[in-house]
Amino acid sequence: MNKFTIKDIAKLANVSTATVSYFLNGNYAKMSINTRRKLADIISKTNYLPSTTARNLAKNENKTIGVSVADITNPFTSPVISGISERCEQYGYKMVFTNSNNDERREIENINRLRQEEVAGLIIDPVNPDGDIYNQLSNLYTVIVDRQSKRNLIDTIVTDNTKSVSEMTAKMVQKDYDDLYFISWPLDEVSTRIHRYTGFQQATHYAGDDHLLIVPYNYDLTTDTSFKDEVSQILGQTNKKIGFFTMNSRVLQELLKVTQSLAYNYASDFGVATYEEFEWMQLMRPGISCIRQDSFAIGYSAMEMLKNKIESKLTSEPKAKIKVIPTKEIIRESF
Amino acid sequence: MNKFTIKDIAKLANVSTATVSYFLNGNYAKMSINTRRKLADIISKTNYLPSTTARNLAKNENKTIGVSVADITNPFTSPVISGISERCEQYGYKMVFTNSNNDERREIENINRLRQEEVAGLIIDPVNPDGDIYNQLSNLYTVIVDRQSKRNLIDTIVTDNTKSVSEMTAKMVQKDYDDLYFISWPLDEVSTRIHRYTGFQQATHYAGDDHLLIVPYNYDLTTDTSFKDEVSQILGQTNKKIGFFTMNSRVLQELLKVTQSLAYNYASDFGVATYEEFEWMQLMRPGISCIRQDSFAIGYSAMEMLKNKIESKLTSEPKAKIKVIPTKEIIRESF
DNA sequence: CTGTTAGCGCGTTCAC
DNA sequence: GTGAACGCGCTAACAG
């Protein structure tokens, strides 16, 4: 698709490819002012672009990284990619992108496919960071984002899950709720869910799990009334002031769909707050209190960290670090 | 990062690289059952993965495409990428991803960077498809998505802009509004905005542009009252029933922020409908009527089209086609 | 100042 | 079952 190569340019200018190469690399001392002008002219006229792949090959460098995200349709993901891509641009890296669609098998395929390529490093937003495939990855060239592995062998960038939820929940506790509930997709050992739940428990001092409400992933209100029934039962108690903390924006949406179908209104009939912020939460009346996480910074830092590792050319795997990106509390009128 | 090469495997098995290559390609006739077993064993134990890049090189094939999106943070974009990535997976292509952040200069850089790579084709969600850079692109290996160029030289996938807006607006017209307004970011010759506006005009039969309201891109209500004042003036008229159609979800958000600050409520004080659908529009009370576009299908079809072009190995540029992806009307209570 | 040429990487494939 | 040339486009050491 790119017609011109260094040979074509050399031919057009009646010089050798070496001269063209020197020109491309700003090595002007090696040619006359005339050929320099001629080359500048020809290259701009032909729109010739040297192949970076060939360049990397010749220089024995590699400026491409592989990215695997758990689910591109999750609104959390876009800003992460944006951050990675911003840093890639600045560092002169290109990125090969894959999406696992929340499917662990697909994630394994993607990671393997990326490793087959000549890729200098990997940034992974994992479906399951405790899967076997992660044993084959080295901390020399990998950064994980969002979900943490229990093994903790690879550098990971996370947000302030436990602390921020604990602080927000504490604010709810102060409002004298009779019962607070944490609503989540099945915990399934997913670190983000567990850490947020831990924050909730720290603030409420609930001992068991009877204040944990699970909503199925891709919950369909019309065919499965389990979650709706639980919520209905909780809100149906007379003279009890109830509050919910939802584990992310999609769980919040499930809760609101259910409470609307039951004809309860948040803020007046019950209190609510959520992890994650999106603009619509400010448009809803009353506004919804939430925890804003800086997903862009997650991606940005991940690429920063990866580049430093790659270019420091370590020979043995560094000890895994965890970097925590702070969140921000947004208090509105929903509780 | 991938330690093992075909040479390592050959050495470990005490055979030549040729034999390993034959094994990898299922060419078992060329070796004894013993070496076949030995190789199977060694390859699984070492987790050896042949480099697809080298393979492409040797076979003179190229299974990677480049993608440039206008703005990854636009919620329209994720499903498009998801569709592209799904098809890439199915076709065995990998994708190199870039984001232009709504900056035309950046878009030019990205496209050039992608062309520098050995990339078999390009899918572009353009910032400005009428920019000069598009003259350098060939319809042999490019597909454009969402925004159309006036020159119409390159295959493009769009949605049903004019027709769907016209139909939705017609429904508003039936409700006896005294005035309907189309709200948009500056038209700036952007095809999606113009086509949607055209649909609005078709249904309302307004002649001039006095029913077109422009909200600045990244409008900040606190420092710029221009748009707010216009809305205030329109809604302040006594005894007039007013309706708005917003050009996308972000413009809708701007409108709602403004009307909320003016203490007007949609549905009761004025009617509203919008292009684009997101789940929160169903959570807002009253629910917001909108036009659902199938962004996933846009990406999916784009990769389909691109693959067909690339692999048909045409020698002259095909005449540009426009493929229209249908939308769906969602009627709720907002007008 | 300019040209020649042997690599760079790793798999493929043909002649033996 | 093997050795070795080959595919790509660029780089850089060396020769002139």
Residues A75 and A124 in one domain: yes
Give the separation between CA B258 and CA B181, rounded to whole angstroms: 15
Nearest of A276, A252, A242, A126 to residue A184 by alpha carbon: A252
Which residues are A140's β-sheet partners?
A: none
Listed ranges A12-26, B54-68, B123-137; the one with the highest mean pLDDT: B123-137
Nearest of B125, B140, B141, B122 to residue B65 by alpha carbon: B122
Residues B104 and B68 in one domain: yes
Tens digit of pLDDT for each residue in B168-182? 999 999 999 999 999
Which residues are B122's β-sheet partners?
A: B66, B142
A4: closest chain B residue by CA: B116
**8 Å CB contact of B94 and A95:** no
Residues A34 and A78 in one domain: no
Contact residues, chain B, for A125 at CB < 8 Å: none
pTM of the model: 0.93
Helix (H, G, I), strand (E, B) or coil at B97: strand
**8 Å CB contact of B115 and A253:** no
Backbone phi, psi, residue B315, to 5° = -110, -25
**8 Å CB contact of A52 and B117:** yes
Asked if residue A277 lies in contact with residue A291, where contact means CB atoms within 8 angstroms, the answer is yes
Give the separation between CA A24 and CA A27, rounded to whole angstroms: 7
Query: What pLDDT sits at residue A8?
Result: 87
Residue A330 lies in a domain: no
Give the separation between CA A267 and CA A259, rounded to whole angstroms: 12
CATH number of the structural domain spanning residue B199: 3.40.50.2300
Residues B256 and B192 in one domain: yes
Contact residues, chain A, for B63 at CB < 8 Å: none
Residues B265 and B185 in one domain: yes
Residues B7 and B22 in one domain: yes
Amino acid at B46: T
Residue B333 lies in a domain: no
Please identify, among B33, B48, B63, the residue that sits at the C-terminal boundary of a domain: B48
User: In B93-239, which ranges are continuous DSSP H helix?
Assistant: 104-116, 161-173, 191-204, 226-236
Residue B334 lies in a domain: no
Residues B63 and B178 in one domain: no
Residues A153 and A68 in one domain: yes
Asked if residue B330 lies in contact with residue B277, where contact means CB atoms within 8 angstroms, the answer is yes
**8 Å CB contact of A75 and B78:** yes
Contact residues, chain A, for B101 at CB < 8 Å: 82, 86
Tell me, letter by letter, the H, E, C secondary structure of A134-181. Answer: HHHCCCCCEEEECCCCCCCCCCEEEECHHHHHHHHHHHHHCCCCCEEE
Q: How many domains does chain A have?
A: 3
Domain that holds residue A98: 54-157+297-325
Please identify, among A33, A48, A63, the residue that sits at the C-terminal boundary of a domain: A48
Residue B332 lies in a domain: no
Q: Which of B59-63, B296-300, B308-312, B320-324 is predicted least confidently? A: B59-63
B258: closest chain A residue by CA: A283
Distance of CA B288 to the CA centre of its chain: 23
B101 has a pLDDT exceeding 90: yes
Query: Which residue in the block uniquely carries the two structure tokens 């492409």?
Result: B56
pLDDT in tens, chain A (335 residues): 666 888 889 988 888 888 999 999 888 888 888 889 989 999 988 888 888 888 888 888 888 999 999 999 999 999 999 999 999 999 989 999 999 999 999 999 999 989 887 789 999 999 999 999 999 899 999 999 999 999 999 999 999 999 999 999 999 999 999 999 999 999 999 999 999 999 999 999 999 999 999 999 999 999 999 999 999 999 999 889 999 999 999 999 999 999 999 999 999 999 999 999 999 999 999 999 999 999 999 999 999 999 999 988 888 899 999 999 999 999 999 99
What's the gap in Å between the CA of A14 and the closest CA on chain B? 23
Q: Which of A47, A67, A73 sits opposite B82 (nearest CB)?
A: A73
What's the gap in Å between the CA of B254 and the closest CA on chain A? 10
For residue B142, the 8-state DSSP code is: E
What's the gap in Å between the CA of A11 and the closest CA on chain B? 20
Looking from the CA of A313 toward its CB, the CA atoms found within 13 Å total: 2
Å from B45 (CA) to C8 (C1')?
A: 29
**Residues 6 or more apart whose Cβ sits within 8 Å of residue A146:** A70, A76, A80, A125, A126, A157, A158, A159, A192, A298
- What is the bridge-based pairing of β-strands B179-184 and B327-330? unpaired
**8 Å CB contact of B278 and A279:** no
Contact residues, chain B, for A116 at CB < 8 Å: 2, 49-52
CA separation (Å) from B270 to B205, B235, B265, B267?
20, 8, 7, 5
Query: Which residue in the block uniquely carries the two structure tokens 């609503």?
Result: A183
A82 touches chain B (CB under 8 A): yes
Residues A173 and A288 in one domain: yes
Residues B175 and B231 in one domain: yes
Number of Cβ atoms within 10 Å of the Cβ of B5: 15
**Residues 6 or more apart whose Cβ sits within 8 Å of residue B42:** B9, B12, B13, B48
Q: Is the peptide bond before B286 cis (omega within 30 degrees of 0)?
A: yes
Asked if residue B169 lies in contact with residue B211, where contact means CB atoms within 8 angstroms, the answer is no
Residues B131 and B174 in one domain: no
What CA dihedral angle connects A150, A152, A154 and A160, to 10 degrees? 80
Asked if residue A35 lies in contact with residue A12, where contact means CB atoms within 8 angstroms, the answer is no
Average pLDDT of chain B, as a whole number: 94
Identify the burial level of A63 via C-beta atoms within 10 angstroms of its C-beta, where 0-12 means exposed, 13-18 middle and 19 or more buried: middle
Give the separation between CA A127 and CA A114, rounded to whole angstroms: 16
Residue B335 lies in a domain: no
Residue B330 lies in a domain: no
**8 Å CB contact of B115 and A256:** no
Å from A19 (CA) to C2 (C1')?
A: 7
Which residues are B97's β-sheet partners?
A: A95, B67
Sheet arrangement for strand A271-275:
A212-214, A179-184, A242-246, A271-275, A289-293, A327-330
B96 touches chain A (CB under 8 A): yes
What's the gap in Å between the CA of A146 and the closest CA on chain B? 18
Residue A335 lies in a domain: no
Residue B167 lies in a domain: yes
Nearest of B264, B219, B217 to residue B242 by alpha carbon: B264
Nearest of A315, A331, A333 to residue A266 by alpha carbon: A333
Residues B152 and B35 in one domain: no
Number of Cβ atoms within 10 Å of the Cβ of B27: 12
CATH number of the structural domain spanning residue B36: 1.10.260.40
B297 has a pLDDT exceeding 70: yes
Looking from the CA of A39 toward its CB, the CA atoms found within 13 Å total: 26
- The conformational region for residue A26 under phi > 0 = left, psi -120 to 50 = alpha, else beta, is left
Asked if residue B9 lies in contact with residue B48, where contact means CB atoms within 8 angstroms, the answer is yes
pLDDT band with cut points at 50, 70 and 90 for residue B2: low
Query: Which residue in the block uniquely carries the two structure tokens 């990675």?
Result: A84
